[in-house]
Amino acid sequence: MSTATDTVTSQLANGLTCELPADSPLAKLLKSQRTWIGPSAKERLAILRKAKSIAIVGASPNPTRSSYFVGTYLLQSSDYRVYFVNPMADEILGQKAYKSLADLPEVPDIVDVFRKGSDIPSVIDEAIAIGAKTVWVQLGIWNQDAAIYGESKGLTIVMDRCIKIEHARFHGGLHLLGFDTGVITARKTVR
């Protein structure tokens, strides 16, 4: 017979919860499922509109890395004050690179994260320690437990979304491939 220590409470996609034996295949499957839901499109737009500064944690000086591309976009296509956080770099895109969030000259409105999923909890702890309010985890990076933890500490969490794509999407500069074409039209291109 199961005791309280061998059961888990699982939340289903419909919002209902159920108790399951912790080692059951269904409990393991449900734990692997994405049930956490972040801010809606309107809420993400509000986050981007309200923000004045963004710190990119895991920024890279390598032009082939997505963090470099996102940093370039934010510097050229937005009015945000952009800070790069990488303990191994001195400069990225001509700007000083900081060793940690605590080293920044201000508390960023958004902490944009380019780190593996298992690193997200420590970035959330750093963000909380400096008083940041929003942690934005880049496209392709997911840590549901970290998202739930961050929200429990009062943070707004956006996960598995590219801040560049979202910014461009809301500001009319998103091409199918993610590039700004400079043209806003509903017409099909004639070849």
Model pLDDT for residues 35-76, shown as the tens digit of each residue: 788 999 999 999 999 999 999 999 999 999 999 999 999 999
Question: What angle (nearest 5°) sits at the alpha carbon of residue 163, between those of residues 107 and 88?
Answer: 60
pLDDT at 55: 98
Query: To which residue do tokens 């739930």 refer?
Result: 148
For residues 15-23, average pLDDT? 77
Give CATH for domain 41-170. Answer: 3.40.50.720
How confident is the model over 74-131, as pLDDT tens digits? 999 999 999 999 999 999 999 999 999 999 999 999 999 999 999 999 999 999 999 9
DSSP string, 92-142: ETTEEEESSGGGSSS--SEEEE-S-GGGHHHHHHHHHHHT--EEEEPTT--
pLDDT at 172: 67
Separation between Cα atoms, residue 150 and residue 171, nearest integer Å: 28
- Is it the case that residue 150 has pLDDT exceeding 50? yes
Residues with Cβ within 8 Å of residue 151, at least 6 apart in sequence: 157
Given a contact cutoff of 8 angstroms between Cβ atoms, the answer to whether 158 and 135 are in contact is yes
pLDDT at 175: 52
Coil, helix or strand at residue 66 = helix
pTM for this predicted structure: 0.76
The residue ranking higher by pLDDT, 151 or 34, is 151
Question: Cα dist. 94→88, 89, 101, 124, 169 in Å?
Answer: 15, 11, 19, 27, 27
Residue 143, judged by CB atoms within 10 A of its CB (0-12, 13-18, 19+), counts as buried
Separation between Cα atoms, residue 11 and residue 57, nearest integer Å: 31
Q: Residue 187: which pLDDT band, with cuts at 50, 70 and 90?
A: low
pLDDT at 84: 98
- Could you tell me the two tokens for 2? 């199961």
- Is it the case that residue 13 has pLDDT exceeding 70? no
